[in-house]
Structure 1
Amino acid sequence: MDLLGLARPRPVTFALANDVVEADSHDGPADGPGCFARVFVSPELDGWTFVAGRWCDPIDDERADEVLRACERLSARYGRAQAYYYGAQGDGSAWVVAEGGAVIRRYSETGDGDDHLLTIGAPLPFERDRRVELGLAPDWDAAHASEDEEDEWKWAVFDMAPALAQAIGLSPLTIGSDTPMRGTGVLALTEYGTANGVPPGAYSI
């Protein structure tokens, strides 16, 4: 947690962590510091540690640059680090993938007209393979793609984050009682939580 500047870790159940992260992310002002105040740091799960919360959003206007740098720092120490956005209600997908201290890919498809400004690096093998499955060119230039091709790819990417995470690491949507686990999960304060406190609320445990 030192690389991320997290503080005051408190052991929690998965149920409580999910309730707190959901409330912080969705129940308060969308642009207030409370939505970034806390994160859940999971126990080690099949070799991976998850950090969950709005603070980790790789395409948030306020957080995107720092999430990119955090992935670089973490991958420099641990070899690989990734950050994902997934809008389960059809709001799109985005990812940052870093290896050995460098970001090799950032990509976003959320329907925002500025998505293309976030792109870094060449398509990942998973992206290329998925395009071939769709009958599209594995490498592409959005400026020269047809509208139909762009639409087909956009809608495929909207739901892609969980599948990509599983292909190159571990998707949180696949975690279950049989997932190898070591350690204890904690809620921790980010720099926003340390400076401003956390939103009030009652949560399920």
Structure 2
Amino acid sequence: MSLLGLTDPVPVSFGDAEEAVDEDSHSGAERTGRVYVSPALDGWTLAIGRWCDPCDIERSDDVLQMCEALSARYGRAQAYYYGAQGDGSAWLIAEQGTVVRRYCETGDGEDHYLTLGAPLPYERSCREALGLTTTWDAATESEEDEDEWAMETMHMAPEIAAELGISPLSLTADIPFSGTGLLARTPRSRS
């Protein structure tokens, strides 16, 4: 929490945190004020909230630096965006202080500017399953293939999270955990 600059932590259940973070996410750009920091879940700690969005135009550089710093300290860090109502997906994967991959598909024509790094093995296997080339360049890909890939990636963030660690959408009571979840204020919310 200190590495992220989070303050004023309050113990809270996952359900209450989900409600608070959802409220913040849907109440306008000025409300990125709270992040839920989970207890350790099968070796992972989740930080959940709009403030952690790797494809937010105002925060993408900060989130990238945040993941680099976290991965330098803990080995790996990941940031995800998932719009459960067809709003798209994004993922940022960092290891040992370096970003390995960032990809964003929200339907915004500027999404490709956020792409960094080589496609993940999971991305390649999904493309292969679709009959698309596993190595590609968006500049030379056919419009039909580009559209098919965009539709596939609109929902891919939770799948990648589960493949590389843990997805908040697949949490069950059987997942081993230790500690207490906390809802904390972001540096931006204090200004």
Q: Offset of 1:187 from its aligned partner? A: 0.6
Aligned to 2:132: 136
Post-superposition CA distance 1:114-134 (Å, at most 9, x none)? 011001111111111110011
Normalised TM-score (structure 1): 0.91
The answer to whether 1:40 aligns with 2:59 is: no
Is the radius of gyration larger for structure 1 or structure 2?
1
Q: Offset of 1:3 from its aligned partner? A: 0.7
Q: Offset of 1:108 from its aligned partner? A: 0.6
Q: Offset of 1:36 from its aligned partner? A: 1.2
Aligned to 2:14: 14
**Rounded Cα–Cα distance in structure 1 between residues aligned with 2:86 and 2:19:** 21
**Rounded Cα–Cα distance in structure 2 between residues aligned with 1:109 and 1:36:** 21
Task: For structure 2, list consecutive stretches of 5 or more residues without a partner in the other structure.
Answer: none
How many percent of aligned residue pairs carry the same amino acid?
59
Aligned to 1:93: 89
Q: Secondary structure at the match of 2:29?
A: coil
Aligned to 1:25: 25
**Rounded Cα–Cα distance in structure 1 between residues aligned with 2:61 and 2:75:** 20
Task: For structure 1, list consecutive stretches of 5 or more residues without a partner in the other structure.
Answer: 196-205
Q: Secondary structure at the match of 1:36?
A: coil
Q: Is the 8 A contact 1:7 1:194 kept in 2?
A: no
Q: Secondary structure at the match of 1:68?
A: helix
Normalised TM-score (structure 2): 0.98
Corresponding letter in the other structure for 1:20 = A
**Rounded Cα–Cα distance in structure 2 between residues aligned with 1:154 and 1:61:** 19
Aligned to 2:149: 153
**Rounded Cα–Cα distance in structure 2 between residues aligned with 1:61 and 1:116:** 12
The count of aligned residue pairs is 191
Q: Offset of 1:2 from its aligned partner? A: 1.1
Aligned to 2:162: 166
Q: Is the 8 A contact 1:95 1:161 kept in 2?
A: yes
Corresponding letter in the other structure for 1:10 = V
Corresponding letter in the other structure for 1:7 = T
Moved over 4 A (4+): none
Q: Offset of 1:77 from its aligned partner? A: 0.6
**Rounded Cα–Cα distance in structure 2 between residues aligned with 1:88 and 1:9:** 27
Post-superposition CA distance 1:130-173 (Å, at most 9, x none)? 10011000010111111111111110001111111101111111
Aligned to 1:200: none
